[in-house]
Chain A
Amino acid sequence: MAEEKKAPPRDLITRIQEIAIRENGLPLPPSLAEGTKAKLQSLRLSPADATRVVKEVARRFRRAEVDAHESVGIVAAQSIGEPGTQMTLRTFHYAGVAEMNVTLGLPRLIELVDARRVPSTPMMTVHVEKKLKGDRDMVQKIALQIEVTTVPDVASISAIVEDLKVVVSPQAALLEARGVKRAELEAALIEGLDARLFEVKPGSGSGETRSFEIHLKESVAGAAKSRKEELVEDMPFKKLLIASEQAKGIQIKGVTGIRRALIRREKDEYVIYTEGSNLEGVIEIAGVDGIRTTTNSVFEIYRVYGVEAARAALIFEANRTLAEQGLGVDIRHLMLVADVMTNEGDIRAIGRHGISGKKTSVLARAAFEITAAHLLRAAITGEVDELKGVAENIIVGQPITLGTGAVNLIYRPLSSTTVVTPAAKIEDAKEAA
């Protein structure tokens, strides 16, 4: 007994699968086996009952399997398309973050199947490392690091034409709120302005809020004066305006593309939601949990993590969009769409620029869109339509190759002329022998 106990107990999953194999000849899919395990663990059943449960699970699983030749593609397309009519068109506030607008409903679904490179409202959900998740201040700091801060966010910019200077005066409150030091601002200004034209000098005030003055470089100002025509063309104050415009666009810190980062408490952790998306940039930030951080831009996920991740993202996004509208659509349909889109190793759109345009059948392509061009091309390249798909066969008036059309059953009545089948021949041969 003692020895037996020492032996590593056989895994519960393995036991379940053994029973299932005995019942069906096939193991259960992992998810179902896991579910069964969890169920068995939560119930206290007699051994006999437990086995009966597993057996029944296996039996029911068998019963629920798809039939061969089922046209799962059409079913998926219908299941996603049909509820489209029930969806809203409007952009809604994201559930939970009232401050942010996110495209949802039909436009979002269309955007997903279109495989747009940039979603109309890119958005990220940034999780921080587990040890920081309850620390509001830390999370806030990270958020500030992510969010793009431009000069006008922390300072007021004014061009003073008579003195030929642009004054950038940092605001104490804003600096504080954005967590920007004066030095950072200065560095950004020097970096961001066209050094050939402008120089940055300290201005009035003191301490953190001491302002900056942007002047035209002596050489530039002087050079402009020397030539008459240029004086008219490029008057110094015009350049000054350029400087003020440039200053307005200077990014002091943050991850490019993230326009806003908001913090929200979600259960026991603070999560950062961002407007704008830049997965590459954000996962590099210290403290950000790269594993749980995600974006609604499928292409970014594809770029950073590859097709498999993109497929998962497509399924997740589509599912979320539909679920948000209260429309139940089986995940298998969404998986199929995502699999079709990512099958070739990159993301292809549903439509004439993607999957439909790449079909092998000329007739199927011609029947979808841009009819004439496809036919003309087929002629010069001498294309052959193998008539394997659905659309082609419908066009030529033949049964399709799916469902009941995929199988042939030939019935030859016995009565009429005796047909010698190969089997009959063998029988005859046997008899003769």
Chain B
Amino acid sequence: MAQGLSKRIKSLQFAFLSPDEIRRMSAVKIITADTYDDDGYPIEMGLMDLHLGVIEPNLRCRTCGGRVNECPGHFGIIELAMPVIHVGYAKEIKRLLQSTCRACGRILPGAPSTRAEPVNDSDEGGAAPRAREPKEERVCPHCHEVQHRIVLDKPTTFRENSHKITPKEVRARLERIPDEDVRALDLNPKFGRPEWMVLTVLPVPPVQVRPSITLESGERSEDDLTHKLVDVLRINQRLRENRDMGAPQLVVEDLWELLQYHITTYFDNQTSGIPPARHRSGRPLKTLAQRLKGKDGRFRSNLSGKRVNFSARTVISPDPLLSINEVGVPIEIARGLTVPLEVTAHNQEVAKELVRRGPSPSPDEANRYRCGVNYLVREDGQRIKVMEKNAEACAELVTPGSIVERQLLDGDIVLFNRQPSLHRMSMMAHFVRILPHKTFRFNLCDCPPYNADFDGDEMNLHVLQSQEARAEAKVLMKVEEHILSPRYGGPIIGMLHDHITAAFLLTYQNPTFTRPEVTYLLSKLNYPIPPPAGKDKDGEPIWNGKQLFSLTLPSDLTLEFRSNIWARCDCQPLHCKHDAWVVIENGVLKAGTIDKKAIAYEKGAVLDAIARNDGMPRARQFLDEMSRLAITAIALKGLSTGIDDEDVPEDALKEILGSLESARAKVNELVEQYRKGELEQMPGRSLEETLEVMVRRELGQARDTAGEIAGRYLGLENPAVILAKSGARGSMLNLTQMAGAVGQQSVRGERLLRGYVKRTLPHFARGDLGADARGFVSSSYKRGLSPTEYFFHSMGGRESLVDTAVRTSRSGYMQRRLINALEDLKVAEDGTVRNTAGTVIEYKYGEDGIDPTRSYQGAPVSLDEVVAQVLGRRVRTSEERRADGPAGAPPVSEEEMDLQAEAQLEEEAEEEEAEEFGAPEEGPEFGGE
């Protein structure tokens, strides 16, 4: 393997090919429009001439003598009978013609625009700003020739005073422009003379660029470019013959124009103003510009992104017992993916043993997967496929310096990715665990960053091939390095769904567990059973849920916050009757319920604190242990929800129906008022709009009332409510819709309106503005929707589906543009943000130089945390104390406080200085933080 420094391309110079250069680089002159003879052998001086390179095995290139994979291909040439305009430069040519004298070629004063027009996208649809046309006839100051107006008749015809200027004449004029004037016109004659924009020779790309394909039927099918070149050659030939024979001017001109057409479409088959050249089947040909352009073009599809080896893709499924840093890889896939092992004197024997195993070794005594070897790369670079049969022989070839491509092993680091890759957390590094079965598996906590679920999602896996890549992946890309999101400075990897329910069940009102239960709960964790929290009435030892949860916490964690279940009660911490105020002291959960606010992704305060204060490895450990504890907890406690969870008692139902009925009546009343013109108009609203607003308000209230009535019977003993309140899944609104009423359906933010003339469905009277006729669904999902309601509900549903579809494409394009505009920005070593041209974009990143990932929800430092840490306890601010009542100190005026604080610092500073002078400076940046 090549070692040391690799070469680096410093810059690329773009330039024109002059006709001479084209001739010089061409290996053969193409004159025959035919490709192959009857034996299928390339015709000489045809488009498939062997001088152009070879694409078939067994043939050798006539130019370089190389075989299929050795010959890079060579250009040929077509000498055009008459010059032809290059479509891409028609506008540029027009500018030059307008700016220079028609007789002497010198630049004219007041040229329409001396600056080259910026690239615009007129060829892709947008409106192009036009160069200003010179108004009056001008006279050349050099030769006093009167100038005429030049018009470009798109795409390639130039007219002067409605006389056509032939490409030949165009070329002659461009030739007359002296170099210094070319420079003044913002072109660089060193890299391209203007007359080269009119073609006299056409380079023929090598056959590798336009390979012909052989169909199963043995028929040969030529590439689009070849087809186009055939056309060019044919017309070129006819044009030459006619011209030489002295055919009538008209005929020659027609042929000339035809040649122009073919060459134009050869370059760009989507030139506006001319019909695209088509294949026999009617499909437009894909010519040069089409090959480069757009999403499937060379640039975006083959240069900016590439297909890779050493990758795998399969369906994903969850495995809560894996660490968040791991990914389960099926054996079948592991056998197909390899890691290069560089053989040295030290590992030679191991490598030999591996090679000896061949590509599919049998499992070991414990029936565990053993890795094999797929390829061996000898010192001389030759690649040998290792098979069962030649394994022994291959093993003998293993010498220091050779490379053994061994199959995947537990602990290998790989990249794991799910599309769409919208942020950097869409591709993270995992450690491999080889597992039976056929899916990739990973911990559920990794779902949010990948935005994955298991309804058939597939994901990709890439095996890193170099030591450098592995090192970078390990340091920068491991899952645990991405627990905190750079988007908002909080965890993006965290507990979800059942984990949260489990944590809730484990900690809410602190349930107790017996020894067998605790044994089971901790069976997936590597902790000894803690001392029991007490004894039950039979004298048996018991443990409680908060105690068990505390096991997973780091011992220095001190935290206080309110749970998701907090219902705005104003209980004091430690004494909340809803158990909604979480108090964690030194790693012990003293009070409160662990739910979404504590451990979920995006929100989890506990998770956030651990990641920030104890580091990522500890956060990973917490997530790993917590997800294991969660699955045992929920398995032990059990939670099921069904349709009867939304049952409400008979009289509640009556109440709901009654309230809906009265809402309906109120709406009718409003409509009646509106009809009579008694409705009071809202300022700035029409009468109709006023009615709509009021009706919507009324019906919204009706739904809420229905939900509220239903909610009275849905307490925290109800599993569905546990899910909603703990933040695991669903919301109270969902429950309201199931138990109470679904509510108003809307399209475009308005009550349903369209369908039939002045009504939504034929079931209603024309002009009915009442609740039912305009899409109010008063049934609940549980009671079932009436046919009209069902239809209305589908209308709303359809809108949201369409919305999603439109949204993904729109936001995708916005993101592409954002990325393209910002991709080059980086924080320079001086802390400024610069683009690659060196322009300063920001003097200090984000005005404070803080990395959002490491920020505390955007703030550089959590002052509360600092105070808590310094004092070892949570201190209430004076505002809070004031809010807590007169028990605290009497309020202090602000100035007073300022003075106090200042005095404090004043004293302290002096002490400190003395201290500092005494002790050697200890740079915190080098300290072990």
Contacts and interface: CB of A to CB of B under 8 A. Distances in A.
Interface of A: 9-10, 12, 15-16, 18-19, 22-24, 28-29, 31-32, 35-37, 39-54, 56-57, 59-85, 87-93, 98-99, 106-107, 109-110, 113, 260, 262, 328-333, 335-337, 339-340, 343, 350-352, 354-357, 359-360, 362-392, 394-396, 398, 401-404, 406, 410, 412
Interface centre among B268, B487, B925, B929 (most CB of A within 10 A): B487
A379 B119 CA distance: 13
Contact of B875 (A43, A48, A350, A383): A43
A377 B12 contact: no
Contacts of A15: 902, 905-906, 909
Interface in B800-824: 803, 806-808, 810-812, 814-815, 817-824
Interface residues of B, number: 137
Interface stretch (B62-70, B187-195, B236-244, B628-636): B187-195
A351 B813 CA distance: 10
Contact of B684 (A70, A88, A260): A260
Nearest to A368: B820
Nearest to B302: A395
A35 B814 CA distance: 36
Contacts of B119: 357, 365, 370, 373-374, 377
A78 B827 contact: no
Interface in B851-882: 851-852, 854-863, 866-867, 869-871, 875, 877-879
Nearest to B844: A29
A156 to B, nearest CB: 17
B848 A81 contact: no
A141 to B, nearest CB: 15
Interface string B897-929: 111111111111101100010000000110001
B449 to A, nearest CB: 10
B845 interface: yes
B568 interface: no
For the residues of A in contact with B, the DSSP-based class is helix
A49 B907 CA distance: 12
Contact of A404 (B476, B486, B863): B476
B837 A57 contact: no
B821 A66 contact: no
Nearest to A382: B191
B15 interface: yes
B826 interface: yes
A77 B904 contact: no
B858 A330 contact: yes
Contact of A373 (B121, B682, B803): B121
A99 B842 contact: no
B292 interface: yes
A82 B602 CA distance: 15
CB-based closest 10 A-B pairs: A81-B815, A73-B825, A382-B191, A332-B846, A84-B811, A73-B822, A382-B188, A29-B848, A47-B904, A328-B488
B281 interface: no
A5 B486 CA distance: 48
Contacts of B866: 53, 56-57, 60
Contact of B817 (A28, A39, A79, A351): A351
Contact of A328 (B10, B490, B862, B908): B490
Given A28-B860, A35-B859, 15 more contacts: A24-B925, A29-B849, A31-B848, A56-B869, A59-B929, A61-B861, A72-B833, A106-B810, A330-B858, A333-B852, A374-B119, A386-B10, A388-B824, A388-B837, A389-B823
Given A90-B803, A379-B192, A51 B897 contact: no
A380 B89 contact: yes
Given A9-B902, A31-B848, A36-B863, A49 B871 contact: yes
Contacts of A398: 8-9
Interface in B496-547: none
B9 A380 contact: no
A228 B748 CA distance: 55
B472 A404 contact: yes
A284 B906 CA distance: 49
A72 B823 CA distance: 8
Given A50-B901, A72-B825, A371 B293 contact: yes
Interface in B681-705: 682-685, 693
24 contacts: A24-B925, A31-B860, A41-B894, A44-B889, A47-B907, A54-B905, A71-B823, A73-B825, A75-B424, A79-B487, A79-B852, A84-B810, A85-B422, A330-B488, A332-B847, A336-B825, A340-B825, A363-B12, A367-B304, A379-B16, A388-B837, A394-B304, A401-B826, A401-B836
A330 B855 contact: yes
A57 B861 contact: yes
Given A72-B827, A73-B825, A78 B815 contact: yes
Nearest to A362: B14
Given A75-B486, A89-B807, A404-B472, A65 B849 contact: yes
Contacts of A59: 924, 929
A47 B821 contact: no
Contacts of B835: 73, 389
